[in-house]
Amino acid sequence: MEYTVIFFTHSGAIKFDRKLKAKNINCELMPVPRSLSSNCGIGAKIVFDGDLRDIIDDEVEKIFQTQDHQKELVYEAE
């Protein structure tokens, strides 16, 4: 599955990128459209088939699943 991950901070995005690359999960940092978030402006595009709970940490604000060019919110931090 393809996901767009949104973060609270720029440093959170960079930490997440390093964490996923250490687990051999492809992660591409990119600008986030304002329609998805008004926070830090950096997100990550990932392709991941595992359990999202294995990669979610305190830095992750939201995760959108991309399907048929549509983004569906599948996780939001409390």
pLDDT tens by residue, 22-49: 999 999 999 987 777 666 688 999 999 9
- What residue ranges do the domains of the chain occupy? 2-76
Q: What is the pTM of this model?
A: 0.90
Q: Residue 35 — φ and ψ, nearest 5°?
A: -70, -20
Mean pLDDT, the chain, as a whole number? 91
Residue 19 CA to residue 75 CA, distance in Å, equals 19
